[in-house]
Structure 1
Amino acid sequence: MTRDPIVKIVTANALIEGDVVYLTAAGGWTRHLAQAAPFADKTQAEAALASAAQRGHEVVGCHLADARQTPQGLDPAHFREDFRRRGPSNYVHGKQAAA
């Protein structure tokens, strides 16, 4: 049994709404993990992170996160990132209310 490869993605929080966002291959931000740009190369991932971190007028808290590249698309490799994309856990609102 082989494991799905781990890649890096750039993630942050949207400055105004606070939603989790992901850097796309086109250099924009998306709220959908499936549209995130995966980086297999650590140097490229770090360069993308450095560039994204300079966009403080759009996002805060830029960091690299691990994701698994599965046949169905990207999935968080760590429960923390899966938890982040679902939003606050103290009460149901926003994204949780729609689910």
Structure 2
Amino acid sequence: MPKPFTPKVITANALLEGDVIYLADNGWTRQLAQAEVFTDEAHADLRMIEAAAQTGEVVGVYLADVTLEGSTPVPTHFREDFRARGPSNYAHGKQEQF
């Protein structure tokens, strides 16, 4: 029996800056809270194809599992939580918020 599809977001790295980015309704965003959440596997697959084709903007496109707290996506895996917080070497960028 196939595993049920759980909510996911599409994530990648910005090609030029290297920042973690998420696919949103109107392009890419650096904020997980603004990411488009997929609950339908076919729709997620279609958007993955579209996202992966943007080779001039992104690299390493993949689906990441999330849960929803209200309408806000929250990572389910520590790797994705780490990526959402930004670089770990010193406080800058996203880390300034924490």
CA distance 1:98–1:74, change in 2 (3 Å): closer
Find the counterpart in structure 1 of residue 32 from structure 2.
33
State the number of aligned residues.
92
Find the counterpart in structure 1 of residue 75 from structure 2.
76
Q: Distance in 1 between matches of 2:31 and 2:23?
A: 10
**Which consecutive residues of structure 1, in runs of 5 or more, have no partner in the other structure?**
1-5
* Code of the aligned partner of 2:22: Y
Equivalent pair of 1:68/1:77 in contact (CA under 8 Å): yes
Per-residue CA deviations over 1:4-42 (Å, capped at 9, x if unaligned) read xx411110001111111000122x000011110011001
* CA-based RMSD: 1.5
Structure 1 position 74, deviation (Å): 1.1
Find the counterpart in structure 2 of residue 57 from structure 1.
56
Find the counterpart in structure 2 of residue 11 from structure 1.
11
Structure 1 position 98, deviation (Å): 5.7
What is the TM-score when the length of structure 1 is the normalising length?
0.83
Counterpart secondary structure, 2:56:
coil
Q: Distance in 2 between matches of 1:30 and 1:97?
A: 17
* Code of the aligned partner of 2:72: G
Residue identity (%): 49
Find the counterpart in structure 1 of residue 92 from structure 2.
94
**Which consecutive residues of structure 2, in runs of 5 or more, have no partner in the other structure?**
1-5
What is the TM-score when the length of structure 2 is the normalising length?
0.84
Find the counterpart in structure 2 of residue 45 from structure 1.
44
